Amino acid sequence: MSPKRVYPLIFTDLDGTLLDHHSYSAKPADMLIKQLIGTLVADVVPITSKTQAELLWLEKELPFSDCIKISENGSVIQIPAGHLLHDQGIQAPIVLSVTYQSILAALKALPNHLSRSIHGFSGMTEAEVAVHTGLSLGEARRAKERQATEPFLWFGTVDELHELRELLEQAGIQVQQGGRFYHFTGKVTKLQAMRHIADAFQQQKNGCKYVTIALGDGPNDIGMIEGADFGVIIPNVDGTSIESDISSVRTADKAGPGGWVSSVTAILRELGLL
């Protein structure tokens, strides 16, 4: 029996990982992604706190049109038509967690001493989102088109944050800490979304051995990074980074897309694919 063909599934965070933290440029990683997808060496799956609207817009600059896209910290999955995993019966993105409307309803029911310390996207104008994120007004508009999560700034105490977590836990909502914002989400993580897609690939009886590679730079990425066959921590531009003592996890030699390229290239060489 011939050995199975190794086929990597590359799950990647965007801001600060695939995209430069300041310029939002993906160069030189965009060329490597185009090569990997174009030659069917690997699937690249963006998995980010960004919305589906933002990811669809990024297709103008990044070769994501044929990629599975996971948005809002693992909560929403979009499988493009023609993809191996596409189900013709699915006409809309798959929401793995609670809906955005459910989150806003739970926040509305919070006691005043907690709600006054929360400044979420739903309460911000497009201009305010632009100021806090560095996005343009058009980008901010797309960032506000949410389906399952709510980014927010927190102005309360540590004890109040703990109280907030406990109250929302009862409504099936959790608080995750990202790079710039906290996020209200359902009980789903990037790790769970990665496993959902990886399991779907494994069910394809096509003679492939699927291997997961996960890259990220924030606290909300660490579960996904540690749960992959190959995990990569992308350091911050100041040299600091999240940490892991898992043997399958490595730290990139540089920040942003430069570190993304060197790490992915090294792993693909180890797998005998380059």
Could you report the per-residue pLDDT of 131-189, keeping only the tens digit for each? 998 889 999 999 999 999 999 999 999 999 999 999 999 899 999 887 678 989 998 99
Segment 55-112, tens digit of pLDDT:
999 998 899 988 999 999 899 999 988 888 886 555 568 899 899 999 999 999 999 9
Kindly state the percentage of the chain with pLDDT values over 90.
79
Least confident span in 52-56, 58-62, 242-246? 58-62
Residue in 36, 25, 225 with CA at minimum distance from that of residue 234: 225
Reading the block at residue 209, the tokens are 């051995």
**What average pLDDT does the chain have?**
93
d(CA 42, CA 204): 15
Model confidence at 199: pLDDT above 70: yes
Model confidence at 205: pLDDT above 80: no
- Please report how many Cα atoms fall inside a 13 Å half-sphere around the Cα of residue 18, on the Cβ side: 26
Strands (E), 69-130: 69-71, 76-78, 94-95, 118-120
Q: At what angle do helices 256-270 and 29-38 cross, to 10 degrees?
A: 40
> 2 falls in which pLDDT band (50, 70, 90)?
low
Q: Are the CB atoms for 130 and 139 separated by under 8 Å?
A: yes
Judged by DSSP in three states, 177 sits in: strand
The pTM of the full predicted model, rounded to 2 decimals, is 0.88
How much is the average pLDDT of 34-42?
Answer: 94
Judged by DSSP in three states, 28 sits in: coil
Residue in 26, 19, 4, 42 with CA at minimum distance from that of residue 269: 42
pLDDT at position 21: 85
pLDDT at position 198: 96
Q: Which residue has the higher pLDDT, 85 or 227?
A: 227
Residue in 175, 197, 181 with CA at minimum distance from that of residue 144: 181
Model confidence at 240: pLDDT above 80: yes
Model confidence at 230: pLDDT above 90: yes
> 23 falls in which pLDDT band (50, 70, 90)?
confident
Segment 3-16, tens digit of pLDDT:
789 999 999 999 99
Judged by DSSP in three states, 49 sits in: coil
How much is the average pLDDT of 22-37?
Answer: 93
